[in-house]
């Protein structure tokens, strides 16, 4: 049996001899948008939703992807707020250092 290649395993969602095969994982798709902003993440969520509605993507997979995108959106929001708070704290600190205390004489 040398020289013979083993048969390729194919995954289908159909029932075969009483066993349910797992669906083949989708091929990697090129990323069309940046996932570093809330707008990009929201656009990707919309895309997943449309794919589920069109029957291109199984709802269970869409649910998982949207969950991951939601977590990414929360982390993006937290990171953005953290940067803004740090910038405001630095501004207040710089402003406080420039102010000289005024002494009132009685």
Output 31 or 101, whichever has higher pLDDT.
101
The domain of 39 spans: 33-92
In a domain, 7, yes or no: no
pLDDT in tens, 36-86: 999 999 999 999 999 999 999 999 999 999 999 999 999 999 999 999 999
Q: What are phi and psi of 48, to 5 degrees?
A: -65, -45
Q: What total number of domains does the chain contain? A: 1
In a domain, 25, yes or no: no
3-state helix, strand, coil in the chain (%, to 5): 55, 5, 45
User: Among residues of the chain, what percentage have pLDDT more than 70?
Assistant: 67
Q: Is 68 exposed, middle or buried (0-12, 13-18, 19+ CB in 10 A)?
A: middle
């Amino acid at each position: 049996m040398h020289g013979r290649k083993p048969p390729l395993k194919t995954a289908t969602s159909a029932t075969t001899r009483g066993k349910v095969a797992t669906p083949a994982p989708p091929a990697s798709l090129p990323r069309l948008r940046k996932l570093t902003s809330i707008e990009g993440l929201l656009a990707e969520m919309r895309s997943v939703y449309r794919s589920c509605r069109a029957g291109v993507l199984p709802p269970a997979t869409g649910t998982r992807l949207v969950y991951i995108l939601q977590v990414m959106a929360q982390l993006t929001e937290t990171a953005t707020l953290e940067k803004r708070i740090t910038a405001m704290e630095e501004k207040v600190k710089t402003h406080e250092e420039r102010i000289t205390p005024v002494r009132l004489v009685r």
